[in-house]
Amino acid sequence: HHSSVHVFLRKIAVAAASKPAVEITQQGESLSIQTSTSVRTTYVSFTVGESFNETTVDGRPCTVMLDC
């Protein structure tokens, strides 16, 4: 069942995100964030005030803008 797969992926995402190790580095207005769990490591780099494309934990694409 298709919906069962989504529920399973969400449960994995919650379990994986429960104790992540996060490393944030900054160079001027650019930030890089590395998030590591027992399941996987993700990396995102962006410039404050500029939109960028990201993929959610369950695989959905989205556009994000952080304005600090």
CA distances from 28 to 17, 38, 44, 63 (A): 28, 31, 16, 22
Average pLDDT over residues 24-40: 89
Q: What's residue 1's pLDDT?
A: 47
Give 4 or 57, the one with higher predicted confidence: 57
**Residue 25 confidence class, pLDDT cut points 50, 70, 90:** very high
Give the number of domains in the chain.
1
Give 60 or 18, the one with higher predicted confidence: 60
What CATH number did the domain enclosing 44 receive? Answer: 2.40.128.20
On the question of pLDDT at 30 being above 70, the answer is yes
Domain that includes residue 36, residue range: 3-64
- Model confidence, pTM: 0.62
The sign of the dihedral angle between the CA atoms of 11, 41, 68, 48 is negative
